Structure 1
């Protein structure tokens, strides 16, 4: 677990120290808490944040799982993943921050992505908000996010319960691992590009924890996206996966269509066991390919169910 710095000064427990929408930190005030985010930046708080904006769905889900609310959520054409946040203002995403909307909601804390939003820190801090950068390239990262949020929001006990539930789910799956693990190719697709997810990606971690074998484990990682690798047709044919799982980002239908076209362009793919037995599964985007937050338990259950179905055929 990522080490979080402890409390620095006395907690603000006196009446009148409640957070308000127009609160502006006073440099002369004592620091209540300092934490270290995923880029090892030290972030200081004069009081517990009460106006939280998030740029990712995983962080949105975690804030509500800890019993808090947000004033800004990720921009999306789809309904909010948390029903209670449906009417919350949309403030952009990690790919493109909507500074106008972010200014309007007056956050005192913005949860953003590392390293994608490092460039946005100065302008967000200029709005009077602190920025916490996190990422989720594995299940432990999600647990670290929970621990960090629990510390900042003074919800440590709630966070620890959620972390332990994830640990228990992993332990249960490991205690019931199949003797022969099905070989799986995980494909992460976006319009115009498809990549193989490696074990150091979130989906790759889920696959291994659920009892599958990643056929791309030894593929060379991409320099710009080290959790993924190029789809090497020759090596994929050699590995002969039993199952192909496809995850989509952005426009799922377009990404899926693009992947199928790419497979059709390589005649050798038709000889794969997965293709011969029609073992191509489209994984739900809310559980795979993006941070599902505490629903990582559902992701693990879903993956195990898919693997068991593959093994039963």
Structure 2
């Protein structure tokens, strides 16, 4: 009850403040109004480049930070070293669980969320006087599209073009250097007791293919609730006999790895899988693979390529 009253009080304060301002500022900025279109096709108009930005994901925070934008709210999660400068920025939950009270108190111009996860939150965010811009990052290409879009949002198109050019030039080098003898790989996402196979339509799956790996789960039927992932099949994994198994997680790395190996070992043939015999079952860094790495996506691709060429 106390949290609800606090939220209502914060919203009321914003409404009163906006009424007191009148229409003067809107009229003054009307000549500078510009519009952008988010990944859902929604058009959002701004009177000026947003000065107060909330990001619900580390990838979005990373891009805004690289473009020189002002973040007043960031995800409630451990920050990678590259975002240490945001340590004191207010934490506002995640795309999975938005802390509306904290966001309301921050009075952001725009909230950067995930499509489709935060589609349901649009009316609520708009109800507190903010705009919600939705994007997704299911491939390296989508991350470059995020950079371009956020560049337009911040009126930093030149800087955005520089970042995209860096990624594209590195991609071109990778494509020309991909080996012909591509190893077979199982890419897993999960937590103890809950594991899914990453499909090529996921960011991790896209990075795997760009790095030269063959995704053994490419033809697995996708999950309805998580369309970039598929249910694991112990029998199909054993049959495909991957040379590498990589695990992505938000949780405790070793605990997740032990839980996965224990679950898979129910199949007597599991220990004959090449990845298991050769000790090629690895946890990938969660700041590069457990979430959207933003402008650091080429670090993830480099790490994946190095893993595939090891031993």
* TM-score higher than 0.5: yes
Say if 2:124 is the partner of 1:152.
no
Match of residue 266 from structure 1: 267
Say whether 1:216 aligns with 2:192.
Answer: no
Q: Conserved in 1, the CA contact under 8 Å of 2:244 and 2:275?
A: yes
Q: Distance in 2 between matches of 1:25 and 1:187?
A: 54
* CA-CA distance at 1:58 after TM superposition: 0.3
**1:149-298 pair list within 5 angstroms:** 149-298=150-299
1:191 CA drift (Å): 3.6
1:1-313 superposed matches below 5 A: 26=23, 30=30, 32-76=33-77, 82-309=83-310, 313=311
Residues 47/240 of structure 1: CA separation in 2 closer, same or farther (3 Å cut) = same
CA contact (8 A) 1:80 1:86 kept: no
For 2:191 and 2:261, how far apart are their aligned partners in 1? 12
DSSP-derived class of the 1:267 partner: coil
Q: Which range is displaced more, 133-142 or 69-78?
A: 69-78
Q: Secondary structure at the match of 1:286?
A: helix
Aligned length: 289
Deviation, 1:190, is 2.3
Unaligned 5+ residue runs, structure 1?
Answer: 1-21
Deviates more, 1:254-263 or 1:289-298: 254-263
> What is the TM-score of this pair, normalised by structure 1?
0.87
CA distance in 1, matches of 2:22, 2:174: 46
Give 1 or 2: higher helix fraction.
2
Kindly tell me: are residues 273 and 253 of structure 1, through their superposed partners in 2, closer, same or farther at Cα, counting changes over 3 Å? Answer: closer
CA deviation string 1:11-47 (max 9, x = no partner): xxxxxxxxxxx78795766371111111111111122
Structure 2: 5+ residue stretches without partners: 1-16
Cα deviation, residue 129, structure 1:
1.0
Given the superposition, is the C-alpha separation of residues 90 and 302 from structure 1 closer, same or farther in structure 2, using an over 3 Å criterion?
A: same
Distance in 2, Cα, partners of 1:101 & 1:204: 34
User: Offset at 1:250?
Assistant: 4.0
CA distance, structure 2, for counterparts of residue 234 and residue 77 of structure 1: 36
Q: TM-score, length-normalised on structure 2?
A: 0.88
The CA deviation at 1:79 is: 6.7
> Counterparts of 1:34 and 1:271 in 2: how far apart (Å)?
57
Distance 1:115 1:25 in 2: 35
Change (3 A) 1:219 1:111: same
Residues 57 and 81 of structure 1 are in contact (CA less than 8 Å); yes or no, is this contact kept in structure 2? Answer: no
**What residue number does 1:15 align with?**
none
